[in-house]
Structure 1
């Protein structure tokens, strides 16, 4: 073992877990020694002074969300309905929902910015607070070869690594403890990556400045070792950080997926060698490896042992733009949850898993079926649509990882008024909510659900109503579902409407044209109405929020502009509740789903 470790490149010999903390005898003046060994500057305690407080900052932030999650689950319903506590929840929800839309891009919420600002203040204070930034070295007196600002930022960057890696994992302990699904943690994965990258740059450039002053920069680089490993790690880190910028990642998503894990591996390996077991630096790699391995093994065990290799996905083109994927399974899931599917087909897509929101709910005492309605774009979905068109009803082997995220159990039946909103392929998400709502109707009398769908696809009406007809077979109803109404807003042109010849109820009246897609029984059973033009979502939400004393639950899945409009309307409702406005709902809860 010792021989194997001694053969590893770029490591000091003998290889240890921790380097010594013995600073030796200081041979400078008492004043100079006091500066060198001062609390914030002592090199041999730098990991304790900077890495551990960074870990503590992250743990405190996570702990606050754990407390909130536990309080929300433990507090009795009658206590949560108290006016004072309702206002407290409304305040936090306002911070969580309120954001802005700038040039087609949704900003993060105020709450996210507040927490990000707290992190910015922490890192700025720890980086720029202690002085000096550079040792007052002379040609005769040397305090050390590591500038203090470089030392501190290096250990803070190191302490970010376990949280960076875990925040990017689908199954992770933070989600388990806080109830925040992995896709909502992804923003923190990105922001921690930027914080770590900036800290790494501040760690790097002072060394360049110092060795330029010293006149041995070329010699240091030529010696290899710590400089080579540091530069390679920094290049890999820059690639990972910049490729994760949303507009770059989304445009080149397949390439991003194919290279991200490889570059992450390069980064971790060279960062490991760069740290060279200084002080407790390798402890952070051990913590990262343990946490990530457990998270990875959990998802792999669910994929290969719980779900197995037996699943096949049936591909059916429902319209020119929508693909239906169905998978027979014995697994269980809840409304609004998503899974990652790895389609075993030829090509690079076999190596990557993609998220899809489930549009069905599990059935009691019978074979379950995962159903997905997917908008065919480029990449994987375009390839699957091409396969389905070439061979309708084709079956493709698939691996399932999940389920993840979704709406907390029982939430659909908890609220007096429910509003489900779907845009484009996000319309499929509403199907599971409708079916879950119907299950509560017999025992939860008085509950209401309104479903609003917006689509540009002329063929959407046919497959959506057929999906409802299939739902009616699974959940038999002898009369129209009490409390349920579905509004389908078709936003394509009137010329297209004339071409497909369907039954349309407009804002101004009803045209009695026979529906070609479905018999009237399904339309009447689910109280379906058709409209031309985009729905006014803020008005729909405000109408529900203006019902005094009720609780309102809103779920939205659709394009970013739709999600912004819903978030904005939900934040306005929180302001009304917070201010104690008369005649408004006692609470309004919002869940947004980004996968479709």
Structure 2
């Protein structure tokens, strides 16, 4: 069958479809001066991808390489050098940037270091967008240098080059985490900020075209032609949805809706952005890179879920208190203390389509006959449904799919430090258990010398019972029947307090007597485990300062709790770095690790 003309197989794309468009600008019919102006380095349209997209890729790669080098250097540096004053002060300076943050009318900022890196990115994008001139071609009705305003061209290619990094930063298993050791949930801030940078660049790309076509008088005709305008507007609408729905207070308030729509809108955005680029120069290379990287990330996580972990797991649900649910899963998998895993519960309606993160509260055994333990604070939604199922039928088992584990304490073992302060607030109480169990296990080795203090703050009046029972079970698993040297556990109950916004360091602590609530055997077990009970919130900044003031010692501080708790401890840790820099009377090293969620 003969065709009268070329068949347009893909809508909105120029024909014939190619991987790269032609870079030949043709013969310039203007004056030599005008031709030189049109072909000058920063505004030559046929080389715009090389001028703007490639430097953007280089900017991201340099940042990743620097963090990777920092990780490698930290891991290979001999312990003898790490004890030197110069090294301690250098590390303290970098940690100060990482730990220092502010609280502004209840809003907790990100770290100073995060803002400095974001500032470097802002300077780069502003310089690349606003630095070169002109912004618009000096076109007249008789003379045309081009139909694409230079500022729109460069903003478009700058935004395009962000795409592979934006997608990879949003993946749970990704090469950036593998290289830098920064867990996926901590990279989420950069996924969000790169999205905002890309959205602003997209707006800078869009509006100059509107201004130009209004001047030219063909705006309506250009829109009616479809093609590049339609695909660009659809991509911009999808991008706006993704960006604004990711604002933290919106995302957290409507999380289930956000999660259900995010992937769909991301797919719409990428498809129409792909069509909008219309294989101009090397534009589709960035989509190929994005597809390859995301496919590898996705396949890795899915292989772990379906091949490594499989369909054999079942979760047992037991209500520990009115607010806390215990979830246990028998497994052969292994993990590290402090890691979390994504669980898909297959009998919870629409929730079976999504996986939710839970911090693991146990450690694996050597024979790989392990049990994942989670203490879940029900908050409605999925956790509310699980709690109702457990209350109706305690011990009920439901099939689950597992993805992970992820996160944890990167490149650090707490046994490397002389002293450890572990803090859990609210749902973060369960997070402390895996670290506590790992410590109890290590103390069984002869010659192990370290100290650990665990501080837990909770409003749940029933938490004391399940937490102490969990600690006793841990000790029994490791055959520890005597006093565990170097371990102390403080449980602070705050449910009696009025006004939850009181500053942590202004509340008086009162030791709580257990004479009327525990018999002699239970009292003896609690004494041997070093457990003490208090009413009122712990003075965490003061406690952190106390640990950080112990001369010539290395101190690890690990916290998992609400934002206010993490901020207060981060501030105390940042202050410790200042004292190390000043070579004051303080610890040799103070290292901080924060977890943002626990469930």
With normalisation by structure 2, the TM-score equals: 0.95
Partner in structure 2 of residue 118 of structure 1: 120
Tell me by how many angstroms 1:402 deviates.
0.3
**In structure 2, what is the Cα distance between the partners aligned to 1:44 and 1:494?**
67
Select 1:578's aligned residue among 578, 581, 586. 581
Tell me by how many angstroms 1:595 deviates.
2.0
Partner in structure 2 of residue 156 of structure 1: 158
Q: Is 122-131 or 376-385 further displaced after alignment? A: 376-385
Structure 1, residues 407-430: CA drift from partner, whole Å, max 9, x if none? Answer: 136611110000000001101111
Select 1:127's aligned residue among 122, 126, 129. 129
Q: Is 415-424 or 441-450 further displaced after alignment? A: 441-450
The 1:350/1:444 distance shift into structure 2, 3 A limit, reads farther
**In structure 1, what is the Cα distance between the partners aligned to 2:331 and 2:79?**
35
Tell me by how many angstroms 1:201 deviates.
0.3
Q: Is 102-111 or 83-92 further displaced after alignment? A: 102-111
Tell me by how many angstroms 1:470 deviates.
1.2
Q: Tell me how large the CA RMSD over aligned residues is.
A: 1.8
**In structure 1, what is the Cα distance between the partners aligned to 2:574 and 2:283?**
44
**In structure 1, what is the Cα distance between the partners aligned to 2:100 and 2:511?**
33
The 1:30/1:535 distance shift into structure 2, 3 A limit, reads same
**In structure 1, what is the Cα distance between the partners aligned to 2:388 and 2:423?**
29
1:550 corresponds to 2:553: yes
Structure 1, residues 259-318: CA drift from partner, whole Å, max 9, x if none? Answer: 000000000000000000000000000000000000000000000101111101111111
Give 3-state SS (helix, strand or coil) of 2:556's partner: strand
Structure 1, residues 363-413: CA drift from partner, whole Å, max 9, x if none? Answer: 122520111111100211111111111221111111110001101366111
Structure 2 residue runs without a partner (length 5+): 499-507
**In structure 2, what is the Cα distance between the partners aligned to 1:588 and 1:168?**
30
Partner in structure 2 of residue 456 of structure 1: 459
Select 2:571's aligned residue among 525, 550, 568. 568
**In structure 1, what is the Cα distance between the partners aligned to 2:156 and 2:519?**
67
Partner in structure 2 of residue 519 of structure 1: 522
Select 1:538's aligned residue among 530, 538, 541. 541
Partner in structure 1 of residue 379 of structure 2: 377
**Conservation of the 8 A alpha-carbon contact between 2:182 and 2:410:** no
1:470 corresponds to 2:473: yes
**Conservation of the 8 A alpha-carbon contact between 1:413 and 1:444:** no
Select 1:7's aligned residue among 9, 19, 22. 9
**Conservation of the 8 A alpha-carbon contact between 2:343 and 2:402:** yes
**In structure 2, what is the Cα distance between the partners aligned to 1:42 and 1:569?**
53
Select 1:335's aligned residue among 329, 334, 337. 337
Tell me by how many angstroms 1:512 deviates.
3.4
Structure 1, residues 167-204: CA drift from partner, whole Å, max 9, x if none? Answer: 00000000000000010000000000000000000000
Partner in structure 2 of residue 145 of structure 1: 147
Partner in structure 2 of residue 48 of structure 1: 50
Partner in structure 1 of residue 38 of structure 2: 36
**In structure 1, what is the Cα distance between the partners aligned to 2:40 and 2:419?**
62
The 1:366/1:11 distance shift into structure 2, 3 A limit, reads closer
**Conservation of the 8 A alpha-carbon contact between 1:232 and 1:270:** yes
Tell me by how many angstroms 1:506 deviates.
6.4
**Conservation of the 8 A alpha-carbon contact between 1:233 and 1:266:** yes
Tell me by how many angstroms 1:5 deviates.
8.8
Alignment coverage as a number of residue pairs: 585
Select 1:529's aligned residue among 522, 529, 532. 532
With normalisation by structure 1, the TM-score equals: 0.96
Structure 1, residues 507-566: CA drift from partner, whole Å, max 9, x if none? Answer: 368563342697123302210000110000011111111110000001101111111111
Partner in structure 2 of residue 174 of structure 1: 176
Select 2:222's aligned residue among 217, 220, 223. 220
Structure 1, residues 32-53: CA drift from partner, whole Å, max 9, x if none? Answer: 1111000000000000000000
**In structure 2, what is the Cα distance between the partners aligned to 1:223 and 1:94?**
56
Give 3-state SS (helix, strand or coil) of 1:134's partner: coil
**In structure 1, what is the Cα distance between the partners aligned to 2:41 and 2:395?**
69
**In structure 2, what is the Cα distance between the partners aligned to 1:5 and 1:196?**
34
**In structure 1, what is the Cα distance between the partners aligned to 2:143 and 2:514?**
92
Partner in structure 1 of residue 232 of structure 2: 230
**In structure 2, what is the Cα distance between the partners aligned to 1:424 and 1:38?**
61
**For residues 327-476 of structure 1, what are the structure 2 equivalents within 5 Å?**
327-365=329-367, 367-408=369-410, 411-441=413-443, 442-476=445-479
Select 2:591's aligned residue among 581, 589, 592. 589
**Conservation of the 8 A alpha-carbon contact between 1:311 and 1:328:** yes
**In structure 2, what is the Cα distance between the partners aligned to 1:410 and 1:171?**
20
Structure 1, residues 109-153: CA drift from partner, whole Å, max 9, x if none? Answer: 000000000000000000000011000000000000000000000
Give 3-state SS (helix, strand or coil) of 2:559's partner: strand
